[in-house]
Chains A and B, each alone.
Chain A
Amino acid sequence: MADLTTLFAGRIHSPNPFWLASGPPANCGEQVMRAFDAGWGGAVWKTIGEPIVNVSSRYSSVDWNGQRMMGLNNIELISDRPIETNLREIAEVKRRYPKHAVIASLMVESRREAWHEIVKRSEDAGADGLELNFGCPHGMSERGMGSAVGQVPEYSCMITEWVKEVARTPVLVKLTPNVTDVRAIARAARRGGADGLSAINTINSITGIDLNTFTPRPDVGGHSSHGGYCGPAVKPIALHLVQQIASDPEVGLPISGIGGVASWREAAEFLLLGCGTVQVCTAAMHYGFRIVEDMIDGLSGWMDEKGFATIDQFQGASVAKVTEWKHLDLNYRIVARINPDKCIGCDLCYIACWDGAHQCIHRDGYTVPESVEAASRARIAVTPIAKLDSSAGAGGRTPPERIPRVDEDECVGCNLCWLVCPVEDCITMERIDTGQPSESWEQRVAALAKGSQS
């Protein structure tokens, strides 16, 4: 069995890389202890600061195709409990669960003394590390905190410096995605002395509008406010931002990945893009702490299958596989092939290619003799009744005229047909040997320039 133990930012130990993200599931000690009992390796406490007052309601979601909560939005603020209560419970949790990671997420007003005080108190309570909440996109930002800090590199750098003046444990800066270039903030955190990054915080969002009341959700007495979006829908955005900071030589910090992790599969993706741990909130809010069981089981099973004994053996393996477009091989070519034995005749690939892509899938793969076509046109659909119809009960195989044909000469290998095909392995994208050596756009332009010079 694979070893999932994790050492993050040099000093934070946890039995596995699965941490609860700072949010409602890590609101109090009782929750965090139950989460540890369920198997979670660590928890980033719900952000501690001067207690706030919340509104009701607070959450809204995007459902998709009958599935609930593809994306979740919240307008909840940081902890509404007194600082001393949170710190007392942190101490209790650390006393009972010394091997688990407890990170204190912090947000106070932008004064050096205020930050010095909260850092010292948190570390005295026993926190294994600190996460500076520079990301909260709603409410707190209007008060000069959260993303109001995280959107300005100089502020991020300055507050990180204040914290580092007194901190004895690793300091993680949590990044907001609501910026033009996340690397600018990541670099500022590095300059300020941060020991690691957490990415990403929630994305500014309005999830939807009630078409009867015209009030966006969540409805707070007839009004709403933009919130922070998270859950499965945000994973692709999170992966991209993580990749950006993971591949930036000016950052070079450990990353705790956040954004749409709901199972071991997403966790593996974040680890492959260089993260050392992952943080989970929405999935735990949806299904409870029990989901961690399969995260542990699934990840270690995958690692065993791939021959990885420890996480660092594959951590970051995908970072170098993301490159700039100009370096991609223009002579790499694939085409779609349709397996007629698997095709069920939905013809979604046909219409997708015609209306949405490059018009190279055709429905003429099967030639209908004229006499058959005439007979087919004259045929009238009736309910087949055994007594009256000898052909009642026919069926089973896909009619050949419904199996589309790919014009491989015209196919650009865009993947769309394969993406829309509902049948596994029915459409495959297959390599065509172009007989040409690998050549990127950059190389081609350089070659052309060279040619025109000579």
Chain B
Amino acid sequence: MDEAQLPVPRNLEQFPELHPPFDRPGALVEANRCLFCFDAPCTAACPTHIDVPRFIKKIASENLRGAALTILDANILGLSCARVCPVDVLCEGACVLDRYNQKPIEIGRLQRYAMDNFYAKGADVAWAAHSAQPRSGKIACVGGGPASLACSAELHRRGFAVTVFDNRPLPGGLNTYGVAEYKLRPSDSLREVELVRSLGVEFRQQEIGLDPSLATIEKQFDRIFLGLGLGSMLRLGIPGEQASGVVDALRFIARYKTSHDVAVGRRVVVIGGGNTAIDAANAASRLGAPEVHVFYRRGEKDMPAFASEYENSKIESVRFHFLAQPLEILQDNGRVAGVRFIGTRLAQPDASGRRPFEPVPGTGFVFPCDMVIPALGQSRMVELLEAIGVAVDNGSIAVDRPTGRTANPKYYAGGDCVNGGREVVDAVADGKRAATAIALSLESQHG
């Protein structure tokens, strides 16, 4: 790997971790607080169904290697999931202690404790070496993010040869490029990629399209898993969007995570109400912007961001403005000078449960700023998907959910390109389910 490609190690003081690690006594106390529920709700709530009480009891008995292997058995990205999972709506949200007015077990931090120990001891993958006898059948995973990593690792454990194709300089997808620094550092994402590589999965940093073409891939491989993710971020579609100082949230995050010279404005406007908007706003604040303002066109309660992310962002001194829709980015000599907004109001919820908004005449205002970060979500790669010949539903690849199989029986899919953009753990679960289904289909084909 080229030195220049390595992600920038950020100063720990500039980006302290959101959830600091446990020390040994802290982990033991917390692990011993776990009730060890039978048929535990936390395990059911985890999309990858990590056997949570089992690994926590192993931490309590200081069988840390066993704890890590229990996690990895269900979720090869146990390290990143421990850091980025919105645990309060997943495992910790399902913890029975919540119903006893007690603090749920800090499952995410315990998982991190086990995984950090595993990687600190050299990420010994001997556990996977004796997994399965080699089977005939080659699989290509297109896209280098969590879905493909999980799919490739699971297939390899079942004895298949897997190649991951990734169009970015570094593998890992959004784990490397898109997750906020204070949750997951690129170096940790790359450690997980190395784990998958060390199992025997082949990685090629090559864009599928011209060389190799999809047709070539189809010939060379028996099954193809699509873990493409989503397309570029949606544009605001208003005048002034091309001005210098406008950078979409994912580009902004990828840039600060991988480049030394990221300049932020003095007054930054982030447009959007999702988790990515909040990640970008926090990062702008940490990178030195004196003022960061998030504008969302609906109300506080309508924000798609997780409540915990919103609360944390307020602590980061990000300021939130609701019921305001951008109309134009104002410029001064080609540089951002401000945003013209109009106030909105919300109507009654429609059939989908969301509340439509409409501009309120006469409520326009100008908000001066020198940087605008749109965070409206990612586009769907409809054209590409149609070219592949898989059925597309509302911009996402249509699959049979339990197997990830597409309309084209040679193709399977998972992750954001199927679920519309969820969490790392959902992508891992998709990849794992698809791997199981691919293995079954190849075994029935080859015997």
Chain A interface residues toward B at CB < 8 A: 65-66, 344-348, 350-351, 378, 380-388, 390, 392-393, 395-398, 402, 422-423
B47 within 8 A of A: yes
Given A383-B425, A383-B426, CB of A346 within 8 Å of CB of B96: yes
Partner of B38, one of A344, A346, A378, A388: A346
Question: Which residues of chain A are near B402, meaning CB under 8 Å?
Answer: 378, 380
Q: Are B89 and A383 in contact (CB under 8 A)?
A: yes
Partner of A383, one of B37, B86, B96: B86
Chain B 89-111 against A: per-residue CB contact (8 Å), 1 yes, 0 no? 11001101111100000000000
Q: Are A423 and B47 in contact (CB under 8 A)?
A: no
Chain B 178-193 against A: per-residue CB contact (8 Å), 1 yes, 0 no? 0000000000000000
Question: Which residues of chain A are near B356, meaning CB under 8 Å?
Answer: none
Given A383-B47, A383-B425, A385-B422, CB of A66 within 8 Å of CB of B97: no
Q: Are B89 and A392 in contact (CB under 8 A)?
A: yes
B423 within 8 A of A: yes
B20 within 8 A of A: no
- In Å, the complex CA distance between A66 and B36 comes to 15
Which of B27-35, B128-136, B145-153, B218-226 sits within the interface? Answer: B27-35
Enumerate 24 A-B pairs (CB-CB under 8 Å) in ascending A order: A65-B32, A66-B25, A346-B37, A346-B38, A348-B35, A348-B36, A348-B38, A378-B402, A380-B47, A380-B402, A380-B429, A381-B45, A382-B429, A383-B47, A383-B85, A383-B89, A383-B90, A383-B423, A383-B426, A384-B89, A385-B304, A388-B420, A395-B94, A422-B100
Q: Are B419 and A347 in contact (CB under 8 A)?
A: no
Minimum Cβ distance to chain B for residue A424 (Å): 9
Given A380-B401, A387-B304, CB of A344 within 8 Å of CB of B96: yes
- In Å, the complex CA distance between A350 and B426 comes to 31
Q: Which chain B residues (282-299) contact chain A, with CB distance < 8 Å?
A: none
Q: Which chain B residues (1-58) contact chain A, with CB distance < 8 Å?
A: 25, 28-29, 31-33, 35-39, 41, 44-47, 49
Chain B interface residues toward A at CB < 8 A: 25, 28-29, 31-33, 35-39, 41, 44-47, 49, 60, 85-86, 89-90, 93-94, 96-100, 274, 302-304, 352-354, 401-402, 419-420, 422-423, 425-426, 429, 433
Partner of B39, one of A66, A347, A378, A422: A347
Given A382-B47, A387-B274, A396-B99, CB of A347 within 8 Å of CB of B38: yes
Work out how many contacts link A and B, with CB atoms closer than 8 A. Answer: 83
- In Å, the complex CA distance between A351 and B39 comes to 9
- In Å, the complex CA distance between A22 and B49 comes to 55
Q: Are B36 and A382 in contact (CB under 8 A)?
A: no
Q: Are B100 and A344 in contact (CB under 8 A)?
A: yes
- In Å, the complex CA distance between A381 and B94 comes to 12
Q: Are A66 and B99 in contact (CB under 8 A)?
A: no
Most buried by B among A346, A383, A387, A395: A383
Minimum Cβ distance to chain A for residue B239 (Å): 27
Given A380-B402, A396-B99, CB of A388 within 8 Å of CB of B422: yes
Given A378-B402, A380-B402, A380-B429, CB of A344 within 8 Å of CB of B47: no
Question: Which residues of chain B are near A393, meaning CB under 8 Å?
Answer: 89
Partner of A382, one of B41, B49, B274, B426: B426
Q: Are B422 and A390 in contact (CB under 8 A)?
A: no
In this complex, what residue of A is CB-closest to B43?
A381
- In Å, the complex CA distance between A422 and B99 comes to 12
Minimum Cβ distance to chain B for residue A42 (Å): 36
Minimum Cβ distance to chain A for residue B426 (Å): 5
Q: Across chains A and B, which 9 residue pairs bring their CB atoms closest together, nearest first? A: A387-B304, A66-B29, A351-B38, A347-B38, A65-B32, A344-B96, A344-B99, A346-B37, A383-B423
Question: Which residues of chain B are near A383, meaning CB under 8 Å?
Answer: 47, 85-86, 89-90, 422-423, 425-426
Question: Which residues of chain B are near A382, meaning CB under 8 Å?
Answer: 47, 419, 422, 426, 429
Minimum Cβ distance to chain A for residue B240 (Å): 27
In this complex, what residue of B is CB-closest to A426?
B100
Minimum Cβ distance to chain B for residue A352 (Å): 9
In this complex, what residue of A is CB-closest to B349?
A390
Minimum Cβ distance to chain B for residue A214 (Å): 17
In this complex, what residue of A is CB-closest to B401?
A380
Minimum Cβ distance to chain A for residue B109 (Å): 15
- In Å, the complex CA distance between A402 and B99 comes to 13
- In Å, the complex CA distance between A395 and B96 comes to 11
Given A396-B99, A398-B99, CB of A381 within 8 Å of CB of B429: yes
Minimum Cβ distance to chain A for residue B348 (Å): 15
- In Å, the complex CA distance between A346 and B96 comes to 6
Question: Which residues of chain B are near A398, meaning CB under 8 Å?
Answer: 96, 99
Minimum Cβ distance to chain B for residue A423 (Å): 6
- In Å, the complex CA distance between A351 and B433 comes to 29
Question: Which residues of chain A are near B354, meaning CB under 8 Å?
Answer: 387
- In Å, the complex CA distance between A392 and B29 comes to 31
Q: Are A422 and B35 in contact (CB under 8 A)?
A: yes
Q: Are B304 and A386 in contact (CB under 8 A)?
A: yes
Question: Which residues of chain A are near B100, meaning CB under 8 Å?
Answer: 344, 422-423
Question: Which residues of chain A are near B49, meaning CB under 8 Å?
Answer: 381
- In Å, the complex CA distance between A348 and B402 comes to 30
- In Å, the complex CA distance between A342 and B36 comes to 18
Question: Which residues of chain A are near B38, meaning CB under 8 Å?
Answer: 346-348, 350-351
Question: Which residues of chain A are near B29, meaning CB under 8 Å?
Answer: 66
Q: Are A346 and B28 in contact (CB under 8 A)?
A: no
- In Å, the complex CA distance between A395 and B425 comes to 20
- In Å, the complex CA distance between A344 and B35 comes to 11
Most buried by A among B31, B32, B37, B423: B37
Q: Are B47 and A381 in contact (CB under 8 A)?
A: yes
In this complex, what residue of A is CB-closest to B45?
A381
Question: Which residues of chain A are near B353, meaning CB under 8 Å?
Answer: 390
- In Å, the complex CA distance between A347 and B425 comes to 26
Minimum Cβ distance to chain B for residue A396 (Å): 7
Question: Which residues of chain A are near B90, meaning CB under 8 Å?
Answer: 383
Minimum Cβ distance to chain B for residue A368 (Å): 14
Question: Which residues of chain A are near B423, meaning CB under 8 Å?
Answer: 383
- In Å, the complex CA distance between A385 and B38 comes to 27
Question: Which residues of chain B are near A386, meaning CB under 8 Å?
Answer: 302-304
Question: Which residues of chain B are near A351, meaning CB under 8 Å?
Answer: 38
Q: Are B99 and A397 in contact (CB under 8 A)?
A: yes
Most buried by B among A346, A351, A402, A423: A346
In this complex, what residue of A is CB-closest to B37?
A346
In this complex, what residue of B is CB-closest to A64?
B32
- In Å, the complex CA distance between A383 and B98 comes to 18
Given A347-B38, A387-B274, CB of A66 within 8 Å of CB of B426: no
Minimum Cβ distance to chain B for residue A101 (Å): 39
Question: Which residues of chain B are near A350, meaning CB under 8 Å?
Answer: 38
Q: Are B99 and A345 in contact (CB under 8 A)?
A: yes
**Given A344-B97, A347-B37; 15 other pairs, CB 8 A cutoff:** A66-B29, A66-B31, A344-B96, A346-B37, A346-B38, A346-B96, A381-B44, A381-B47, A383-B86, A383-B89, A385-B304, A386-B303, A395-B94, A398-B99, A422-B100
Question: Which residues of chain A are near B274, meaning CB under 8 Å?
Answer: 387
